[in-house]
Structure 1
Amino acid sequence: MSNNKLAFSKINYIIMLIGIAVLVLGFFIMTLDTEPYGFGFLGLTLGPIVVILGFVIEFVAILYKAKQDQ
């Protein structure tokens, strides 16, 4: 068993940062919508799909476990 004091490995943190970047990108896409109250394609379809993808990436980052060398 390794004597690692961090909860996750380096790859987990990298995946988490990618997930946060995708989340920020999704919210930014939603702000680009020019329709009133954000009722256009960007605000109702593309932005939320990108945000959900960001949350899926975060979920994967939490559950990902690196293979141990034997």
Structure 2
Amino acid sequence: MEKEKTKFLFNKSNYSLLIIGVVLNVGGFLLMIGGAAENLNDFNADELFSPVRLTVAPILILAGYAVIIYSIMKKPKSLKDTDSKEN
């Protein structure tokens, strides 16, 4: 009996891209945190509507999701080689 090798769907590059995407998402959400005034009667529009919170953080979050989707959809080279040999 020949022992078949188990082939994983993801390889090292897929996992590293997945981790990068998660870090981008966490960073984006962390940039969005805050803006609350210590006194409820105070309103600080500059802190609440800062460009980092309104522009940079959503871009990081969308980029993180794009990287995560790419890392899931990317086919490892080892699977590409075996598919081409089978055909």
**TM-score normalised by the chain length of structure 2:** 0.63
CA contact (8 A) 2:14 2:72 kept: yes
* Partner SS, residue 59 of structure 2: helix
How much has 1:43 moved relative to structure 2? 1.2
Q: Distance in 1 between matches of 2:18 and 2:33?
A: 23
C-alpha distance after superposition, 1:8-65 (max 9, x if no partner)? 22211111001111111111222266623xx221111110001100000001000111
**Residues 32 and 42, structure 1, Cα contact 8 Å, conserved in 2:** no
Q: Does 1:46 align with 2:56?
A: yes
Aligned length: 67
Q: Which runs of 5+ in 2 are unaligned?
A: 36-45
Indicate the percent of aligned positions where both proteins have the same amino acid. 32
TM-score (normalizing by structure 1): 0.75
Greater length-normalized contact order (CA 8 Å, ≥ 6 residues apart): 2
Aligned counterpart, 1:28? 30
Structure 1 unaligned blocks of 5 or more: none
Instruction: Give the AA of the match of 2:6.
Output: N
Structure 1 segments, 4+ long, off by >3 Å, are none
Q: Over aligned residue pairs, what C-alpha RMSD do you find?
A: 2.4
